[in-house]
Structure 1
Amino acid sequence: MDTKNNGSKGEEISIYPRDRFFWFGEINKASTVMLREQDIISEELCAEIAKAVEQVIIDGEKPGAKRTFDYFELEQELIAYGGPEITKVHVGRSRVDMVDVTIPRLEQRDAILDSFEQFILMRKALLEFVKSNPNAIVPFYTQGVPAQPTTLGHYLGGYLEAFSRIADRYLELWERLNKSPFGVAAGGTSSFHLDRERLSELLGFDGVICNSFDAAHAAPLDIGIEVSNVVSTVASTVSMFMTDILLQYTYSKPWIIMDEGVYKQGADSVLKEGELTGTSSMMPQKRNPKALTRVRMLASTVKGSSVTFLMQSHNIIHGLVDYKLEIIDSYPYMPLNAVKLSTEMLELLKKAIGIFVFDEERALKEVTSDYTMITELAVELQKEYDVPFRISHHFASEIVTYGKEHQLVPLEIPYSIAQKLYSDTAKTFKFQIEDLPLSEQDFYSILKPETMVRNAAVLGGPQPSEVERMLGIEEEKILTDLGWLENKRSKLKEAEHKLRTEFENYL
């Protein structure tokens, strides 16, 4: 295919879309090469077929030309250049293995790699944001209520680890997605001795789906579900993340917010000022997080497409195309639609993360304004003074009750009150140690969130050394995934170039 320079980085990009017309052309090229190698067509006919196939592709690349998605229309275009003999390119084939199963797989293959690329870049942007202040204290919540203090690196590192798990699903999906169903005709093959493994190689697949019935009828269903499920899982975790950040906009002063300035990628400004945020037509103080709300909307639409395909593919007999590629009144094939929407969602999220601003002071104030570190008070009594669990927790709960009744934050609780509450608790439970064993200095030190974070000593906790270790793992995983993506794209590009070269030998 012709290429052009993109004018900036010296890379070559395709002029024409990799749509179904493009894939018809690639399939016809592969069939032409294989049929001649199998001596199913003569050398002379092969040359005529190659010329017709090439001419139809050239016609489709002219400005304003129709790029048909209908095989019968395409066949008529081939006949117009070479007569009915040209249709021998179709021997042993069916619209089933071309239109219903092979082209969808080729389209999904491209789309999954595009989605995975944006997924990696989004994770990279999030990691860079986290690394700017990994040990800053932030709150986290259970059941929507402030629970304990943690750090920015631990909190967002948790999302990064979840995303890494999803990245593995992309890789596992690829092993099953990049297998060729081509050459099975309608599912029972034919008496023409087509070389399916050669067709697979020419189209850049890693192997074939062996059983021809499976290739034509069962595999499109379960692979479509798996493709949908992978991007649906991405959307679920992204949606949770977006809900977290959007909740910040309900505060008069958030601790994570999008800057209204310009998002930059390298030295090139790729967004106009304020493009990811919006103002109100009536209320001049508002800065609406329109990028984040759109990301969440796209996440919902990805999941909607996935669920739609799950229902479409349910309770139908083999041989129907409901769950394959049939497009009625431009209604999209749902797995492909879900993947493309996921790419848009992830690219927008990447840009939004690129203008995140973190307010460390505000985050710390959010933590210290509530009793999220009170667990550490109970733990310290158990660990250092052998106070039973129930007694230490009851005492800590009494501290919270007193503080909230008197509108005090933890560090404002009088030490004398703490001593009395502990003594009352010990007497209630008939515990022998009736005096609070903590000094005044230790009592207030424990109520500082950084103490709780620093004292964490469990695998996967928020302590700085452990956060640094976990973020290092995520950074390495991102680099590994980028290498995997580059390798797969390189192999596909090499296969496409090889097909073009071998096809041109017959022109």
Structure 2
Amino acid sequence: MTDEGTDESVVRRDRFSGGPARSFLSSLAADRRIFAADLAVDRAHVVMLAECDVIGDDVASEILEALKEIEAAGHDDLPDGEDVHEAIETAVIERIGPDGGKMHTARSRNDEVATCIRYRLREDVREALEATRGLREALLEVADENRETIMPGYTHLQPAQPTTVAHWALSYEAAVRRDTARLLEAYDRINQSPLGGAAFAGTTFEIDRERTAELLGFESVVENSMDAASSRDFLLETIQALSTLATTLSGLAEDVIIFANRGFVSLSDDYASTSSIMPQKKNPDTLELVRAVAGDAAGEVQGLTTTLKGLPRAYNRDLQRATGHAWETVDAVTEATEVAAGAVATADWNEEVLADAAGEGFATATGVADLLAANGVPFRTAHEVVAWAAENGADYDAIEAAAAEILEDDLESCVEPAAVEAALEPAESVASRNSRGGPAPAAVATTLESARADLDADEAALADLAADLEDAAETLRSEVAGYV
């Protein structure tokens, strides 16, 4: 090897040593989100180690005191490290010496980080659930106040049948209720502790995994230690549920944007803006952004799925890139849910414009066909009669002419003229559709009662979740106080 070659090798080594690789590996900045979670996990683990006589009470006391100081100093005061877990441990050792390293006995960063993610994600999902509760409440209030507010209903964006604002609002409340159920189910699978699984093959120390789960408020442990360290299906399930919620929100936003365009509804100024150049305009900007979040959430689902696809079992560093998909999704969808709730709750419905539009496009035609069928005309024949009328005037006279053309008989021989006149009226058309889940005010009242009962049950479940976590946090504080 020439001297020149040797010099080039040295330059190359100097150029690529240290900085780029270390910064690429580091997640310390992104880990700000789980700083508090890591401190809680450290405390629970240290308390358990002391209770199991793996470390002495005096060492536990020193470690816990150091963690208290680190918490007070904050994330920005941490020393450099690959991640928040390493940085906190280094900060403990800096304060109390080598004994600080005993806090990492019987665990790995693999099970530690998995626990921290679950610990923080529980809180984020609870916030998302609170947001769905607020949206459901807003939709139920709109429904309650608009049981008899007639509006046009559409299929394929074409006038279809008259309905009510209440019926429309309840349709979205039902969808958000299912979104809530999916998130509650995801929460149950998040709420399991991986701590104590170590790198993936367990530990030789006699530890109590159930105790750390209890101190951290987890319902149970992830039994298999390899599964505990490596699985991120709980992340995927959660953001899939959030993506479904975002899709619901996108449909809601689209409807209200269209309704605003047609003058059916006016958004509060807090949820709209004016054009920078056209002073007469009022733009539904916030709902357009809500609509767009569905695309963001779907993209995060795809990103996480692709990251997790085909990973060999146990820990892989790819997982460091997985968690961000969850944080991005839960933040965006929770905010979008809150904005949608506010927009719906503060909107004004234009009853006069809605009523005028409710009968457009012969929207009461189906009710007339149903009336003929109820009076003995086969439904397909009744459909043909009303279709003929729709092309020839779309009024009583056209129906009468259609009966003569199709039935070869007087309309009065089939049905009372007054009944036909009533069926042509949007309000009467709505009132006649009193089947379960329909738009008639009486049917809406029943649906409202059931929906409020379900909302009350979910609110109670959310309160129980919050109480369980607070009880666990208080237990952990109390146990730590016994050492510090």
CA-CA distance at 1:75 after TM superposition: 2.0
- Is 1:306 aligned with 2:301? yes
2:271 is paired with a residue of what secondary structure? coil
Q: Distance in 1 between matches of 2:378 and 2:37?
A: 70
1:257 maps to 2:266: yes
Partner of 2:185: 172
- On the 8 A contact 2:197/2:228 being kept in 1, the answer is yes
> Which position in structure 2 is the counterpart of 1:364?
355
Is 2:436 the partner of 1:446?
no
2:264 & 2:277 partners in 1: Cα distance? 25
Query: Which residue in the other structure is 1:54 paired with?
Result: 68
- Displacement after TM superposition at 1:433 (Å): 7.0
Higher helix share: 2
Q: TM-score, normalised by structure 2?
A: 0.88
What runs of 5+ residues in structure 2 fail to find an aligned partner?
1-30
Structure 1 residues 40, 244: CA separation in 2 closer, same or farther (over 3 Å shift)?
same
Tell me which residue corresponds to 1:292: 287
Q: Separation in 1 of the partners of 2:85 and 2:411?
A: 87
For the pair 1:230 / 2:241, whether they are aligned, the reply is yes
1:306-325 to 2 correspondences below 5 Å: 306-321=301-316, 324-325=319-320
Deviation at 1:216, TM superposition (A): 1.3
**Alignment length (residue pairs):** 452
How big is each residue's C-alpha offset from its partner over 1:49-101, in whole Å with a ceiling of 9 and x where there is no partner? 2222222223227xx634874322222211111111221110111110112x1
Q: Does residue 162 of structure 2 align to residue 149 of structure 1? A: yes
Matched, 1:376 2:381: no
Residue 486 (str. 1) matches residue 463 (str. 2): yes
Q: Tell me the CA shift for residue 304 of structure 1.
A: 2.0
Residues of 2 paired with 1:323 and 1:228: CA distance?
18
Q: Which runs of 5+ in 1 are unaligned?
A: 1-16, 261-274, 404-409
Corresponding letter in the other structure for 1:191: T
Q: How does 1:265-276 map to 2 (within 5 A)?
A: 275-276=270-271
Q: 1:472 aligns with which of 436, 449, 457?
A: 449
* Cα pair distance change 1:210/1:441, threshold 3 Å: same
Q: 1:85 to 1:42 in 2, by over 3 A?
A: same
Q: Deviations over 1:436-494 (max 9, x none)?
A: 53344333222112222222242221121111010111112222222211221121112
1:420 is the counterpart of 2:396:
no
Q: Report Cα offsets for 1:383-434 as digits up to 9, x if no partner.
A: 12x112222111100111112xxxxxx4xx353x43332111124xxxx778
Match of 1:333 in 2: 324
- Asked if the contact 1:52/1:81 (under 8 Å) is kept, the reply is yes
What letter is aligned with 2:267? M
Change (3 A) 1:414 1:389: closer
Give every structure 1 segment of 4 or more consecutive aligned residues whose post-TM-superposition deviation is greater than 6 Å: 432-435
Instruction: Note if contact 2:396-2:421 (Cα within 8 Å) is conserved in structure 1.
Output: no
Match of 1:399 among 383, 386, 389: 389
* Residue identity in the other structure for 1:279: T
**1:32 and 1:503 in contact (8 A); partners too:** no
For 1:139, which of 143, 149, 152 is the aligned residue? Answer: 152
Q: Residues 422 and 436 of structure 1 are in contact (CA less than 8 Å); yes or no, is this contact kept in structure 2?
A: no
CA gap 1:401/1:38 in 2 versus in 1, 3 angstroms: same
Decide whether the 8 Å contact of 2:49 with 2:55 is kept in 1.
yes
Matched, 1:346 2:347: no
- Sort the Cα spacing of 1:322 and 1:469 in 2 relative to 1 into closer, same or farther, 3 A: farther
2:209 aligns to what?
196
Aligned to 1:187: 200
Cα RMSD (Å): 2.1
Distance 2:276 2:413 in 1: 59
Q: Cα deviations across residues 324-351 of structure 1 (Å, max 9, x unaligned)?
A: 3447xxxx61122211211111111122
Q: 1:85 and 1:435, CA in 2 relative to 1: closer, same or farther beyond 3 A?
A: closer
Corresponding residue SS for 1:476: helix
Q: Supply the distance in 2 between the matched residues of 1:128 and 1:379 (Cα, whole angstroms).
A: 32
TM-score, structure 1 normalization: 0.85
Q: Distance in 2 between matches of 1:79 and 1:207?
A: 31
Contact 2:437 2:444 in 1 (8 A): yes
The DSSP-based 3-state class of the residue aligned with 1:324 is: helix
Distance 1:390 1:322, change over 3 A: farther
Give per-residue Cα distances to partners, 1:289-333, cap 9 Å, x unaligned.
111112112232222222221222112212354663447xxxx61
Q: Tell me the percent identity.
A: 29
SS at match of 1:354: helix
Taking the aligned partners of 1:111 and 1:392, their CA distance within structure 2 comes to 54
Cα distance, 1:305–1:235 mapped onto 2, change above 3 Å: same
On the 8 A contact 1:423/1:436 being kept in 2, the answer is no
Task: Pick the aligned partner of 2:125 from 102, 106, 112.
Answer: 112
Distance 1:360 1:500, change over 3 A: same
**How many angstroms apart in 2 are the aligned matches of 1:58 and 1:147?**
62
Distance 1:502 1:320, change over 3 A: closer
For 2:85, the aligned partner's letter is Y
CA contact (8 A) 1:79 1:86 kept: yes
Aligned to 1:176, the other structure's residue is in SS state: helix
1:390 aligned to 380, 384, 390, which one?
380
